[in-house]
Chains A and B, each alone.
Chain A
Amino acid sequence: MVDKSLELFDCGHRACGGCGPAIAARLILKGAGKDTIVVSSTGCMEVFSSPYPETAWKVPWIHSLFENAAAVASGVEASLKKQGRSEKVVIIGGDGATFDIGMLCISGAFERGHDFTYICYDNEAYMNTGIQRSGATPYAASTTTSPAGRCSTGNKRPKKDMPQILAAHGAPYVATASVSYPADFMQKVEKAVNTKGPCYIQVHAPCATGWGFEGNLTMKMGKLAVETGLCVLYEMVDGKVTRVKKVVRKPVEEYLSTQKRFRHLFKPARKDAEIAQIQAIADFNAEKYGIDIKLKKEPAK
């Protein structure tokens, strides 16, 4: 068991108040432990954690480019193997680096079967450059490149299913997590770094600035995403779902109505069709992964 009391991601970094990815960084290192080499892609986390000459990383850390973290990590892993060293290799990339621009490098690295853990902190848009849509942006979210307007209701497409794509690469361990469930997330990180081969964890990491909510509500926002069924927490071992977090589901409206990026669904006029569409996504998730807890008090029909 790794010593989770160690703080390997130092305070003093430059993240916004209530930053979900900063919480993710701290939890990742608690789960992975000190014998870890971190490879970061360009993005919020890289920028707020490494303003020269300061660094928040108390483990060896390397950042090269936006889209090549998986390839850089392939080289790190090969070098360690050649030297007979035992450090764990953990890649941390945002959703833009993972879902979009880094896809080629990720696919190649997973196919080659390197021994590393890739963790995508998913804040559902390009936040570092000013909240532009990515392949992880949810349906109907308003971003600066998918703005809601007179003839637009925001992002036109649902999220890409990255965990399934990487499971299809033969990844031995794939999991989704949320910063709002820290114990579960740390445990998944620990499990992944101790599983041989390329593992993938996608951690939902709310962005107060990009989503438009107060920084003290980050944990609540992450919880609501899970409780509404829009973010499903599960584990896949060798391509099969082995564990799913079950919830008593809340209507998606409770999650949507508290964020600026979905405000256009409620004001100036309520957009029932779009809200229903998002509810349908949650219902589909619930059905697919079996997340609903059936309340015993429910009267028999």
Chain B
Amino acid sequence: MMQFMEGSLAVADAVRLCRPQVISAYPITPQTHIVEALADMVANCTLDAEYITVESEFSALSACIGASAAGSRVYSATTSQGLALMFEVCFNVAGMRLPIVMTIVNRALSAPLSIWNDQQDSISLRDSGWMQLYAEDNQEATDLHYLAYRVAEDHEILLPAMVCFDGFILSHTYEPVETLSQDQVDAYLPAFRPYQRLDAADPISFGMFASPDYYMEFRYEIDRALERAKERIARAGKEFGKQFGRDYSALVEGYQLEDAETAFVAMGSLCGTVKDAIDEMRAQGKKVGLLKIRCYRPFPGPDIAKALAGVKRVAVLDKNISLGSKGAVGLEVKDALYGSGIAVYDYIVGLGGRDLKKSDIAAIAALAEKGQGDQFYGLRQEVLR
């Protein structure tokens, strides 16, 4: 059913349909509308879940660990400072192979304090072992939750997943969203079947201490599972397309790439702006295209190399920066294209909610054509002394 909905409420509705048994979350802007909506559903018996109102994000994800290990499908949502407070727990979740799904409503990190969007928060957790999916619009944001649970709980994967969507730009924006029925979701996402659980009838130990003789193999296994996840995400995305008409089998998605000379690479809501800018530039005869990265972890390097094989230059739009180095996506795209001879330029854009317009996209294309890149774009002039 097509509905005109706020992004947060569309996500909350999708989460409800995933039938989480335990929800544990702590309020933080701009994630609040999601967790408020879920609390309301529990209060009105439209969602049959235990809702733990924890005292911090640190405890929110920690409680998810306990609930998941005890055999429940669990959910949490957070952003920015909340995710940073979860840092230690995030690594632990992946190491314990618990298929927790968490929405990240992307927001900048302090200081200075900013409640507005960039993707520094989730990007900073890229090494934690979680899958990371980025949504371009609210339709995709809802759909990726079904997909995330399905892949995370796959016994060949057993890893947590972050579904990332841009704070305010998507979370607080009304868009038409095709919602699914409970029967439809049940047909796509089977009931949670834990691989193993805390059970007095069959005692096992979770979260043990590993000596140097064993530790590396655990890390290797997580990395292998992430590698396998590429195929499982593609398969789950294809199945989703078959059942509901929206195909998410591609980890990266091209737009006007076929004959493009300059290709943008972006993640999240920015892709929509870039597509509009591309349409305008195409009308002026400029051969530009976009490669949207939907799945950032696992990183689909070979898919990216294949998709960008024909272009002359790549302009990566990074809504994050590895301070003292470069944008995280740019660095990895360079790695994916190493040896191809394709020039890759990185642009740090949109930090802390700085707006990026179609005219900016065109200006960045011009910079890339001149071979100028690896820089911040859109800074106030007074800092450029």
Which A residues are closer than 8 A to B by beta carbons? 34-37, 39, 46-47, 50-53, 55, 57-65, 67-68, 70-83, 87, 104-105, 107-109, 111-112
Contact = CB atoms under 8 A, between A and B. Distances in A.
B214 A79 contact: no
Contacts of B21: 79, 82-83
Contacts of A57: 203, 205
Interface string B190-209: 00000000111011111111
From B202, B205, B208, residue with most partner A Cβ within 10 Å: B205
A63 B207 contact: yes
Contacts of A47: 209
Interface of B: 21-22, 24, 49-50, 52-56, 58-60, 62-72, 74, 88-89, 92, 96, 198-200, 202-211, 214
Contact of B204 (A52, A60, A109): A60
Contacts of A73: 66
A104 B66 contact: no
Contacts of B199: 60, 87
A267 B44 CA distance: 69
B58 A37 contact: no
Nearest to B26: A108
B208 A108 contact: no
B211 A79 contact: no
Contacts of B202: 60
Given A68-B58, A79-B50, A79-B72, A50 B66 contact: no
A76 B59 contact: no
Contacts of A77: 66
B206 A34 contact: no
B70 A65 contact: no
Given A82-B50, A112-B53, A75 B204 contact: no
Contact of A74 (B59, B88, B203, B204): B59
B63 A74 contact: yes
A63 B65 CA distance: 10
A51 B208 contact: yes
From A35, A58, A68, A73, residue with most partner B Cβ within 10 Å: A68
Contacts of B209: 46-47, 50-52, 63
B203 A61 contact: yes
Contact of A82 (B49, B59, B63): B49
A105 B70 contact: no
Given A51-B208, A59-B203, A71 B59 contact: yes
A81 B22 CA distance: 10
A107 B56 CA distance: 11
A64 B62 CA distance: 8
Contact of B205 (A55, A75, A87): A55
B62 A68 contact: yes
Given A75-B22, A75-B74, A80-B70, A60 B200 contact: yes
B66 A62 contact: yes
B200 A34 contact: yes
A60 B49 CA distance: 24
Nearest to B98: A64
A78 B203 contact: no
B71 to A, nearest CB: 6
Nearest to A69: B62
Contacts of A65: 62, 88-89, 92
Given A64-B89, A74-B54, 7 more contacts: A51-B211, A60-B204, A65-B89, A79-B70, A80-B70, A83-B70, A105-B58
Contact of A108 (B54, B92, B198): B54
Contacts of B22: 75, 78-79, 82
A295 B10 CA distance: 74
From B54, B64, B198, residue with most partner A Cβ within 10 Å: B198
Smallest CB-CB A-B distances: 10 pairs: A75-B66, A108-B55, A71-B62, A75-B63, A75-B67, A79-B70, A71-B59, A68-B62, A76-B66, A72-B66
A64 B205 CA distance: 11
Contacts of B203: 57-61
From B71, B89, B207, residue with most partner A Cβ within 10 Å: B207
Nearest to A80: B70
Contacts of B58: 67-68, 71, 104-105
Nearest to A66: B88
A112 B68 CA distance: 19
B72 A71 contact: no
B70 A76 contact: yes
B50 A78 contact: yes
Nearest to A83: B71
B345 to A, nearest CB: 41
Contact of B52 (A52, A83, A112): A112
B297 to A, nearest CB: 22
Contacts of A67: 58
A256 B69 CA distance: 44
18 contacts: A34-B200, A52-B214, A61-B204, A61-B205, A62-B198, A63-B208, A75-B63, A75-B68, A76-B67, A77-B66, A78-B67, A79-B50, A82-B21, A82-B49, A82-B72, A83-B21, A105-B55, A105-B62
